């Protein structure tokens, strides 16, 4: 049996190789364009992937594109654990931790509630709320990977990645003007930027564009939000198990997918200080490559005409979640105590 299994690997590799290679090439092009034009790499990967949509339609690339969109995504999410340590979380004190936990929970709760009122499933509200509240496109893809299979799941994920990338880029420009107008000091400004801008790259750009102190605070608070990915994935897993119940043949899905456990393990190992900086940096670079490659594959799988039928309600939901999060954090800074403990 083992021999047969091992003998099947070369054939499987030949089957997946064309689609994986196509996804990597699109990801490389997206990386190049992002570095030269300063736009979000995820957005470039999506747009280029959709332009290559014909590769996923009954071609030799189809199996590899499907595999990349699913499995390479999970690897990239797991490697996000190398971004943070428990020491970084403790160094910020309890006030920012409480603010991040509350803002993530309330934003996701708002997303689920409003999505239900709009006639969507709770999973869609969790997807939009989680991508806004945690870490943008990375959170959208991680949560999508933990959710039950649904014919509209990839389309919903694609919409979230496009929407959150656009909103994050807009926030990177607008939010520094808001914190200056509000008279926040550098640390308060960093907390606001780190707690409200969606993607890590935009947080870093906005924070260090103001000052080093603002950039440091923004980066640490953003890492706290990234750390919330694990409990939220666990929550998504719980909802998936409850949703599927006994109506699905075969074993029920685990409460925590393997990539979430790997994420937690990498955070723990990274916190020991045993991981050389070069290794951690290589892991983070690999994580980015995996995420960009997988979103390129998702773009290839998606018909552009399907996105045109989304309508205004999902857009209004995501914009509303973004505004809610910004108002919530600003209120906390003014009335809840501002500086890290």
pLDDT tens sequence across 282-328: 998 998 899 889 878 878 876 666 556 667 788 899 999 999 999 99
DSSP 8-class letter at 142: H
> What percent of the chain shows pLDDT beyond 90?
26
Average pLDDT over residues 277-281: 91
Segment of 35-49, 58-72, 209-223 carrying the highest mean pLDDT: 58-72
DSSP 1-40: -HHHHHHHHHHHHHHHHHHHHHHHHHHHHHHHHHHHH-S-
Give pLDDT, residue 338. Answer: 47
pLDDT tens sequence across 147-163: 776 667 777 887 888 88
DSSP 8-class letter at 48: H
pLDDT tens sequence across 224-274: 788 888 888 888 878 877 766 544 444 555 556 677 788 888 888 988 888
Give pLDDT, residue 22. Answer: 93
Contact present, 84 and 267 (Cβ < 8 Å): yes
Quote the Cα angle for 280-166-210, to 5°. Answer: 65
Q: Tokens 């919903």 belong to which residue? A: 156
**Secondary structure of 148-210 in the HEC alphabet?**
CCCCCHHHHHHHHHHHHHHHHHHHHHHHHHHHHHHCCCHHHHHHHHHHHCCCHHHHHHHHHHH
**CA separation (Å) from 44 to 10, 105, 153, 195?**
32, 30, 21, 25
Reply yes or no on whether the pLDDT at 193 is more than 50.
yes
Residue 81: name the closest of 340, 290, 237, 296 by CA: 290
DSSP 276-321: -HHHHHHHHHHHHHHHHHHHHHHHHHS-HHHHTTS-HHHHHHHHHH
Q: How far apart are CA 143 and CA 158, in angstroms?
A: 12
Quote the Cα angle for 52-55-56, to 5°. Answer: 110
Q: How far apart are CA 53 and CA 47, in angstroms?
A: 10
DSSP 202-240: HHHHHHHHH-HHHHHHHHHHHHHHHHTHHHHHHHHHHHH
Residue 12: name the closest of 64, 56, 62 by CA: 64
Average pLDDT over residues 328-339: 76
Contact present, 137 and 162 (Cβ < 8 Å): no
Q: Tokens 């009954």 belong to which residue? A: 58
Give pLDDT, residue 2. Answer: 41
Reply yes or no on whether the pLDDT at 93 is more than 90.
no
Give pLDDT, residue 341. Answer: 39
Give pLDDT, residue 108. Answer: 94
Residue 135: name the closest of 116, 160, 154 by CA: 160
Reply yes or no on whether the pLDDT at 179 is more than 90.
yes
pLDDT tens sequence across 109-138: 999 999 999 988 888 899 999 999 988 877
Give pLDDT, residue 8. Answer: 58
């Amino acid at each position: 049996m083992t021999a047969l299994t091992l003998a099947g690997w070369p054939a499987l590799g030949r089957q997946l190789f064309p689609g994986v290679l196509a996804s990597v090439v699109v990801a490389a092009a997206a990386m190049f364009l992002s570095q030269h034009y300063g736009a979000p790499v995820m957005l470039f990967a999506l747009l280029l992937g959709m332009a290559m949509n014909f590769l996923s339609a009954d071609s030799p690339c189809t199996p590899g594109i499907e595999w990349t969109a699913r499995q390479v995504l999970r690897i990239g999410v797991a490697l996000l654990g190398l971004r943070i340590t428990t020491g970084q979380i403790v160094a910020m004190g309890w006030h920012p931790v409480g603010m991040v936990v509350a803002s993530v929970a309330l934003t996701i709760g708002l997303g689920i509630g409003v999505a239900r009122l709009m006639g969507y499933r709770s999973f869609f509200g969790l997807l939009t709320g989680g991508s806004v509240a945690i870490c943008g496109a990375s959170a959208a893809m991680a949560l999508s990977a933990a959710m039950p299979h649904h014919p509209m799941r990839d389309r919903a994920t694609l919409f979230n990645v496009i929407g959150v990338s656009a909103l994050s880029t807009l926030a990177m420009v607008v939010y520094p003007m808001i914190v200056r107008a509000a008279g926040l000091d550098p640390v308060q400004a960093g907390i606001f930027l780190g707690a409200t801008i969606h993607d890590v790259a935009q947080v870093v750009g906005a924070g260090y564009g103001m000052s080093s102190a603002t950039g440091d605070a923004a980066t640490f608070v953003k890492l706290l939000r990234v750390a919330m990915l694990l409990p939220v994935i666990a929550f998504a897993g719980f909802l998936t198990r409850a949703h599927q119940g006994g109506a699905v043949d075969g074993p029920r899905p685990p409460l925590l997918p393997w990539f979430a456990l790997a994420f937690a393990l990498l955070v723990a190992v990274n916190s020991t200080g045993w991981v050389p900086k070069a290794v951690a940096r290589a892991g983070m670079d690999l994580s980015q490559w995996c995420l960009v490659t997988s979103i390129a594959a998702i773009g290839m799988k998606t018909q552009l005409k399907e996105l045109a039928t989304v309508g205004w309600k999902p857009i209004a939901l995501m914009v509303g979640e973004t505004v809610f999060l910004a108002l919530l954090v600003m209120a906390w800074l003014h009335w809840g105590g501002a500086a890290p403990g």
